[in-house]
Amino acid sequence: MSDNAHQEQASADAATPSLEDSLRQVGRSGKAGLSSAWDTARALRKLAMADFALARVAMARAMVWMSAAAVFGVCTWLLLMGVLIALLQHNGFSWLASVSIAAGLSLAMTILGVVQTLRYFEFTRMEATRRQLKAMGIGDDDEDEDEDTPGVSGTPVPQAPAPAPAGVAEGGRP
């Protein structure tokens, strides 16, 4: 080997850190990574807390405005029913018929609202999620029903022994 090759080999050996230095460097890098992960987690926690606080305030304000809208909606409906009664009266209907038609219309709208509410409440049962969990073998609804109703699973419910008649001892003798 020539002098240049020996010098390159020596400089390469000098540039390579020892095992101990390499382990220290890996340890410092691991600590820096963990510190960065903790900082990220703290920042995400602060962000989530701020988001929940904003959502809480927004929900309260939405409820106030929804209440105001409901009040004005009811007032509007009552005024419309008054106008309908007046128009029916003007067209020759009696008061009883006019008020009955307005009440029937209100009742029909109430029934429609109840039916639609019940329809949408069905979506809150999360049937698709339950089916997927059941397909994965998690949260089988049949097991829950069997626990709620004793004796359904096929095992008999233990019965307490009947009390002995008064004056009869355990052995069956008075």
* 2 found inside a domain: no
* 110 found inside a domain: yes
* 101 found inside a domain: yes
Residue 35 CA to residue 109 CA, distance in Å, equals 61
What is the pLDDT at residue 41?
Answer: 87
The residue-averaged pLDDT of 36-58 equals 90
pLDDT digits (tens, 9 = 90+) for 55-103: 899 999 999 999 999 999 999 999 999 999 999 999 999 999 999 999 9
* 166 found inside a domain: no
Handedness of CA 166, 171, 172, 174 (dihedral sign): negative
Burial class of residue 58 in the structure, from the number of CB atoms within 10 Å of its CB (0-12 exposed, 13-18 middle, 19+ buried): exposed
* 3 found inside a domain: no
Q: Which pTM value belongs to this model?
A: 0.47
* 117 found inside a domain: yes
* 5 found inside a domain: no
Instruction: Find where tokens 């005024």 sit.
Output: 79
What is the pLDDT at residue 74?
Answer: 95
Q: What residue type is 15 in one-letter code? A: A
* 47 found inside a domain: yes
Residues 62, 71 contacting (CB under 8 angstroms): no
Count structural domains, the chain.
Answer: 1
Domain that holds residue 116: 36-143
Is 137 strand, coil or helix?
Answer: coil
Q: Which residue has the higher pLDDT, 134 or 142?
A: 134
